[in-house]
Structure 1
Amino acid sequence: MAVESTHPALEHSAIDTEGRQLLTELVSIPSVSGEETAAAERLAGFFEAHDREVWIDDIGNVRAPGDDTVLLTSHIDTVPGEIPVEIKDGEDGPELWGRGSVDATGSLASMAIAAVETGASFVGVVGEESTSRGAWYLTDHRDSPDLIINGEPSGWGGITLGYRGLLEGTYVAASESGHHSRPDLNAIQHAMSWWDRVETIFEPDEWVPVFEQVTTKPVDIEGGVSVDGLSMEATMEFQLRVPPERTPDEVRELSDAELDIGTVNWTESIPPVMTNPRTELARVFRAAIRDQGGDPRLLRKTGTSDMNVFATKWDCGMVSYGPGDSSLDHTPNEHLPLDEFDNAIDVLIDVCERLGVGDEVASDDSEAATDTEAAQ
């Protein structure tokens, strides 16, 4: 059941399949983290139109139970930034431009189509671009599936096996106010000094792949004279990415050891994940990609995804997969070739069928939808 839309992109001749229509509609609905309701309702409506059990749970995830041999899951939310939704002619055919087309609405829509075609379990999660609240909630409110395919852009011929972990924190310092000509270090300088020492510990090595290094990034900083004029204050938010060779605890301890002035509040800690390329799931993906005429590539991502969360809580095989060039994530020129989207759907369907999805359908959730959830 398609939702009526007057968006011009939906009138383009290239939007000629149900999958492409769903993709374009979802990209056309703003779904920044925390504001996913409209997109979630459209996604739930797609499953309802195909007579699939579906509900939106208490945190906002779209859950469509099915054969739990494979759980297809991707995130509904996007980062901020408006990009006009339109179809453009690219080198390899029509491309859909718009925020989320690559990260990760292309993955989300391709998985929804594959779930309907094969009967696989499906969950569209919220909040991946912020706190991964949808994934954390999911792992606390359902049993582990047999296998997970997490939707993130890898290119239709790529399979992502690993992600670095994430440490987030906030540094806070204060110092007495005084004339700027005084040699005493103020709070801003204390913040700069501590961060310089942290960067020195994890100084980049040009001979080592980025995936195997700890990288440091300040993401926000504020400082200056306090409101009452009696002190100088500094607050810096930062991120550290953690490779599989290290643990978040180890990286945190090394950073804390350099702290002499001020305090650090560690707000997020997500371990890295690296899966074996020789698993049955990875093997089946390689075979399916080859059957579609592709050349399989095994990838390691320098960022962090919901796959890290699932690996922390569930002991099952998993990979990340989805159409799109991940170098376009969060950029102002985010766009997805529609032929690549179609190829990803075919690969996902082939993978599910090779794994026996649909041979014996079982419920994906250990809990039934409550009246409250079903009414949402």
Structure 2
Amino acid sequence: MIVAGDRDPYPDACDTPARKLLFDLVSIPSPSGEEEAAAERLRAFFEANGREAWIDEVGNVRAPADDSVLCTSHVDTVPGDIPVEVKPALESAYDVDPDDPTGGEALWGRGTVDATGPLVAMAVAAVETGVSFVGVVGEETSSRGARHLAAERDPPDALVNGEPSGWNGITLGYRGFLAGTYVNTSESGHTSRPEPNAIQHAIDWWAGVEDVFDPADPETPVFDQVTTKPVSFDGGLSEDGLAVEATVDVQLRVPPSRTVDEVHELAEGQLTTGSVHWKEPIPPVMESPRTPLARAFRVAIREQGGDVRLLRKTGTSDMNLFAAAWDCPMVTYGPGNSELDHAPDEHLPLAELDRAVAVLSDVCRDRR
């Protein structure tokens, strides 16, 4: 019997260990950098179920066991105050059975989808089957937890990374991520002068970057494109009034068909003046659907009555970092509709959580 918690009372619908743990963790605010309380609750869950667990030097929750599978997901969420309550799921977000007397009961709250729901599914399945588990921190910002884990730990035999894919979907591919800050300074002068200033140089550079990555075929799927996005722009006179300054924060998403180094070189090649300070990149990843791990998921999902969906995501996850460091089969999996990531109506049907736990447990038993 799995022990989840001793809160009294839980909502009536939170009547299983997985549902109770989800309610507890969603009730604890855990934005990136403030994961300590949620990490302690997760550690306590493993210890209550007879598993050794501890919090490492960067804040990850570690519960090692059978390394035939490592289940991992992130403890942190984005900020946002969504009342934690059980109420019906939105039919526009989930397939809700109109004949279900529960009304498709769902837990609403920040993190239910991204990624506390997947985190709980990983934790409960790890306890049920005796496989290894790590809850990592900082995924929504620098991925410091995953970076530390990949550098410090030997690879498992197989990895399941927790992010929302829907209980009947598995994610095999993510684009990579390259972020940087363009900076430039020019002498101040009257605005009637024809010479371009730092702001114009910044605009010209970014226009060149957008142009060089504009897909030749407009029908190219987004997953296969390099997409470019400026995320902030700051420019104007310096405090002493003697210079014009410009700073642009930019992000580029890199498909598996290209390398981060190639994209970096092409972006740098558009510079005529100024410089770009690049952050540590995250490479793209595309896993095979034919690995024993992927096959185990297909079997487990079908046994639960689902039609399997194989997904490629246009964003980035910690699986990118694990794939770059470890040579082992891996997939990303977890309950929830990813369109609700970071959204004000984030919620997860409790029945979807149950199905995900069943699928994960079957997969872990198959791989042991």
Same topology, TM > 0.5? yes
Q: Is the 8 A contact 1:110 1:344 kept in 2?
A: yes
The answer to whether residue 49 in structure 2 is matched with residue 38 in structure 1 is no
Deviation at 1:182, TM superposition (A): 2.9
Which AA in structure 2 matches 1:343?
R
Secondary structure at 2:280 match in 1: strand
User: Deviation at 1:4?
Assistant: 5.7
Matched, 1:279 2:278: no
Whether 1:202 and 2:213 are equivalent positions in the alignment is: yes
Cα contact 1:3–1:42 (8 A) shared by 2? no
Contact 1:166 1:268 in 2 (8 A): no
- CA–CA distance in structure 2, aligned partners of residues 200 and 5 of structure 1: 56
Is the CA contact 1:166–1:240 (under 8 Å) kept in the aligned structure 2?
yes
The match for 2:99 is none
The normalised TM-score by structure 1 is: 0.91
Q: Does 1:134 align with 2:145?
A: yes
Cα offset for 1:81? 2.1
CA-atom RMSD in angstroms: 1.3
Tell me the alpha carbon deviations over residues 280-313 of structure 1, each in whole angstroms, 9 at most, x when there is no partner.
Answer: 1111100000000000010011111110100111
Do the aligned partners of 2:30 and 2:77 also contact (CA within 8 Å) in 1?
yes
Matching of residue 313 in structure 1 with residue 312 in structure 2: no
Contact 2:5–2:21, Cα closer than 8 Å, also in 1: no
Residue of structure 2 aligned with 1:100, choices 98, 111, 114 = 111
Q: d(CA) in 2 for partners of 1:295 and 1:71?
A: 25
Residue identity opposite 1:82 in structure 2: D
Q: What is the distance in 2 between the residues matched to 1:142 and 1:239?
A: 29
Q: Distance in 2 between matches of 1:206 and 1:322?
A: 32
Confirm whether residue 16 of structure 1 aligns to residue 28 of structure 2.
Answer: no
**Could you tell me which residue of structure 1 aligns to residue 101 of structure 2?**
none
Counterpart CA distance in 1 for 2:126 and 2:218 is: 42
CA offset digits 1:321-363 (Å, max 9, x no partner): 000111111122211111111100000001111112xxxxxxx
Report the counterpart of residue 51 of structure 2 in structure 1: 52
2:81 aligned partner: 82
Give the one of 243, 249, 252 matched to 1:237.
249
Query: Which blocks of at least 5 consecutive residues in structure 1 are unaligned?
Result: 357-376
Rounded Cα–Cα distance in structure 1 between residues aligned with 2:81 and 2:251: 25
- 1:162 matched residue in structure 2: 173
Amino acid at match of 1:53: E
| Residues in 1 aligned to 2:122 and 2:357: alpha-carbon distance in whole angstroms | 7
**SS of the residue 1:45 aligns to:** helix
Letter in 1 for 2:86: I
Question: Match of 1:324, SS?
Answer: coil
Residues 73-82 or 182-191, more deviating: 182-191
Q: 1:354 to 1:335 in 2, by over 3 A?
A: same
Residue 68 of structure 1: aligned partner = 67
SS of structure 1 residue aligned to 2:165? coil
SS in 2 for 1:102: coil
**1:99 deviation in Å?**
1.2
Please report how far the alpha carbon of residue 222 of structure 1 lies from its aligned counterpart in structure 2 after TM superposition.
Answer: 1.4
CA drift at 1:103: 0.7
> What are the superposed Cα offsets for residues 192-217 of structure 1, whole Å, 9 maximum, x if unpaired?
11111100111144311111110001
- The CA deviation at 1:2 is 5.3
Shift of 1:184: 2.4
Q: CA offsets per residue over residues 56-83 of structure 1, 9 Å max, x none?
A: 0000000001100000000001112222
2:282 counterpart residue number: 270
Q: TM-score, normalised by structure 2?
A: 0.93
Asked whether 1:344 is paired with 2:343, we answer no
2-side partners of 1:303 and 1:175: how far apart?
Answer: 36
Aligned counterpart, 1:360 = none
Report the 3-state secondary structure (helix = DSSP H, G, I; strand = E; otherwise coil) of the residue aligned with 1:101: coil
Aligned length: 353
Structure 2 gap segments, 5+ residues each: 97-103
The separation in 2 between residues aligned to 1:146 and 1:173, in whole angstroms, is 48
Q: Distance in 2 between matches of 1:265 and 1:19?
A: 44
| Correspondence 1:148 to 2:162 | no
1:217-270 residue CA offsets vs partner (Å, 9 max, x unmatched): 111221111111111111111111101110000001111111011100111211
Answer yes or no: is the 8 Å Cα contact 1:27–1:101 preserved in 2.
Answer: yes
Aligned to 1:115: 126
> Which segment is superposed worse, 277-286 or 220-229?
220-229
Q: Report % sequence identity.
A: 66
**Matched AA of 1:17:** T
Partner letter of residue 249 of structure 1? Answer: D
Once the two structures are TM-superposed, the CA of residue 179 in structure 1 deviates from its matched residue by 2.6
